[in-house]
Amino acid sequence: MHPKNQHEKTILAPLHRVTTGDYLLWGALLALMLTGLAAWIWQYLQGLGITGMNRPVYWGVYITNFVFFIGLAHSGTFISAILRIAGQSWRAPLTRAAEAITLFSLPFGAGSIIIDMGHPERILNLILYGRFQSPIMWDVTAVGLYMLSSIVFFYLSLLPDIALCRDRLTNVPRWQQRMYKILALGWNGSPEQFRRLEKVLDGMAVFMTMLVVTVHTVVSWLFGMTVQPGWHTALIGPFFLLGAILSGTAAVVIALAILRKVYRLEKVLHTGLFNSLRKLLITFVLGWLYMMIAEHLTIGYASMTEEMTVLNDKFTGTYSLIFWSMTVLVFVVPLLVFIFKGKNNIGWMVFASVLINIGMWMERYIVIIPSETSPRLFHNMGQGSYMPHLPEVLITLACFAGLIFLYALFTRFFPIVPIWETAEALPGHTHTNETSPVPQPAASD
Amino acid sequence: MPRWGMVIDLDKCFACQSCTAACRMENNTPVAGKDQAGMGRAILWNEVLPFTEGEYPNVVETMIPRPCMHCDNPACIKVCPVQATFKNEEGTVLIDYTRCIGCRLCTVACPFTVRYFNWYPPEWPEEMKAHLNPEPEVAPRPKGVVEKCTFCTQRLRKARETAEAAGRTFAATDYIPACVQTCTGHARYFGDLDDPNSLVSKLAHSPRAYRLFEELGTQPKVYYLKQG
């Protein structure tokens, strides 16, 4: 038994064939990934000296990528767990698209830490000799747990749809049919199975919500637990978390718009979804401004010597260009676009969301680097500078390519819109499912 | 059990850098070369840092020699995820180079920036290679690990061995690091801070004594005697 969904054919359409365009895209992305892999092998053989890192800038774009990718991963959990608990039923069509971002950006976040290590082959030392007093161990634990529970959460909500693919997609290659058969774990869609599934997902949503708050706070504590100027502030945790949800939600807008266009899902991923996301994004952008002012005003007003060195470096010094363009990219332009242009206009929404994500990467960079160039001991010696080198650029590109590659691959083999969650009726349910995908009238906006 | 500490008299120091040079010979820190040093990648367990106050013509320049502070409550140890850096029972902060994973959290956590990373495998000009210090404690470190001043821990071991061979008990005055021995102006003092009669302990309690960033609570065991 399968849920009844009027859009089933539309959603399953992309799964029937792999186009030449797909092969070209995958090929290009794979090439980028291989270049990055080669750069990493080169770095492993030569030493981290081939990067632009130095003393006192011991951490560069790898750690920036780590923070950024973990932040991007917050999209899925926010939409599927937090909004699930809040009973926001409009989110149903976009849950999987958002969760897939979580699932596929986490490996590159965690991987960035390994790429940054001087001795990646000693990674088992973390288990053999782990010291739980260290923020790195907190990260390993939190991110590891997050990755594991994201996979479980994602897979569980995918189960009914894999079973549907198993039964409906009879014209696809044999290996693909076998894959569905194995992955479906014998799901037969009985009302009891759906009842249990909903129960488990509700329970996990509570756990995931706690985890998502913990993970990005712990990521920020990598910096916040030190006494370095610019990092040692209690606000760094909430600020990182809010930034993560902002960039994650913006990433969902981008992904949805592309999926909608490429796979002709206009009816399912309707404009109403973008209007709902727009409201969320306006809230987060304003929250970002609040955090920004709270942090910088506190530091600037107190004007402690070492803190001011870092602050001045951001406001008027070496990093002022990045700092102010970040403010324009994350806050000024997106807010104006969302308020005046974003309603019912997907193009503008995507434009602002791309700006937000570029700006958020810059924000991670601007939090990390200026504190390092002016460490406490050197604050009046003006020491330290940093410019990423080619291997760092190649590896960064490879990480982004990897995220897109996994995402593109997934959407060709699995339905990216949850069919059972957007169904009109589930087996055993007499009433209409409340998570109906029917477009909301514009009046609801 | 001694608690090793150092006192540096800034009135006597004239920034000749012989401590830096002696440290390099004693501890086999590699030669970075001009380009790498320009990028800030030279490994100098001991550095002499200039601090300038005021503007021309009223300038006060203070030169501060900076070894590892060997803090009693070090910021580096608690952040190490694999316990590769640790404090031994005599209070000296050391690193296990075979365990360090090279994550560099300790290097960013140390407020005194005393920790150095091996960006490349260590290198020396041919002429110098033959004259490396053969002690096992200072065997060249591989690329990808963090290193720093150890208060010349190999000298402590040798001093203990010498005392044992001569059949006498080891005294705290038997051992000094290379920078202290070489200091041209006799500006450096070294010894047991827990012994109230030792010279370092007396100097550490002098009214001129201060420590860097005392307010951070890391409890450095390197004291400075104020200039002027």
Span B197-207, pLDDT tens digits: 999 999 999 99
In the predicted model, is pLDDT for residue A420 greater than 90? no
Q: Which of A43, A50, A54 to mutate to test the interface with B (most CBs of B within 10 A)?
A: A54
Residue A127 has pLDDT above 50, yes or no: yes
Query: Which domains are delineated in chain B?
Result: 4-225 (3.30.70.20)
What would the pLDDT profile of A207-230 be if each residue is shown by its tens digit?
998 998 999 899 999 999 999 999
Residues 6+ apart with CB under 8 A from B125: B31
| Overall size of chain B counted in residues | 228
Model confidence band, residue A188 (pLDDT cutoffs 50, 70, 90): confident
Asked whether the beta carbons of B86 and B146 are under 8 A apart, the reply is no
CA distance A12 to A193: 22
Give the Cβ contact number of residue A49 at 10 Å: 21
Checking if the pLDDT of A392 tops 80, the result is yes
Using CB atoms, which residue from B101, B111, B146 is nearest to A377?
B111
- Closest chain A C-alpha to B125 CA, distance in angstroms: 19
**Do B138 and B158 form a contact (C-beta atoms < 8 A)?**
no
Record the tokens describing residue A305, joined without a space: 């010597």
Whole-number mean pLDDT of chain A? 89
A162-166, A342-346, A369-373, B202-206, range with the lowest pLDDT = A342-346
Closest by Cβ to B41, choosing from A55, A131, A225: A55
Phi, psi at B191, each rounded to 5°: 170, -160
Peptide bond into A427 cis (omega under 30): no
For the cut 70, the answer to whether the pLDDT of residue A142 exceeds it is: yes
Amino acid, res. B96: D
What is the model's pLDDT at position B107? 95
- CA B77 to chain A, closest CA, distance in angstroms equals 9
Element (H, E) at A358: helix A346-373
Q: How far apart are CA A166 and CA A174, in angstroms?
A: 11
Say what the pLDDT of residue A171 is.
84
Q: Read off the DSSP letter of residue A47.
A: -
CB proximity B73 to A under 8 Å? no
User: Does the pLDDT at position A6 exceed 60?
Assistant: yes
- For residue A78, pLDDT beyond 50: yes
pTM: 0.93
Confirm or reject contact between B60 and chain A (CB < 8 A).
no
In chain A, domain spans: 8-430
Residue B175: the pLDDT is 94
**Please, what CATH class does the domain formed by A8-430 belong to?**
mainly alpha
Which residues of chain B from 159 to 188 reach within 8 Å of chain A, CB to CB?
Answer: none
Task: Establish if B113 touches chain A: CB-CB under 8 angstroms.
Answer: yes
Residue A435 confidence (pLDDT) above 80: no
Mean pLDDT throughout A28-48? 96
Partner residue opposite A119 with nearest CB, options B66, B113, B145:
B145
For residue A442, pLDDT beyond 50 = no
- Residue A378's pLDDT is 75
Quick one: angle between helices A95-116 and A135-168, nearest 10? 140
B57 interfacial to chain A (CB closer than 8 Å): no
Mutate to test the interface with A, among B49, B104, B123 (most CBs of A within 10 A): B104
Choose among A150, A137, A175: nearest CA to A81: A150
Lowest mean pLDDT among A33-42, A91-100, A373-382, B175-184: A373-382
Sites in chain B below the pLDDT cut of 50: none
Structure confidence at residue A444 (pLDDT): 43
**In contact, A55 and B113? CB cutoff 8 Å:** yes
Out of B41, B101, B212, the one facing A54 most closely (by C-beta) is B41
pLDDT tier, A48 (very low <50, low <70, confident <90, very high otherwise): very high
**Mean local confidence (pLDDT), A176-195:** 89
Q: Is A360 exposed, middle or buried (0-12, 13-18, 19+ CB in 10 A)?
A: buried
User: Are A133 and B78 a contacting pair at CB < 8 A?
Assistant: yes
Q: How many CA atoms lie within 13 A of B180 on its CB side?
A: 20
Q: Tokens 């990528």 sit at which residue?
A: A65
Supply the pLDDT for residue A380: 61
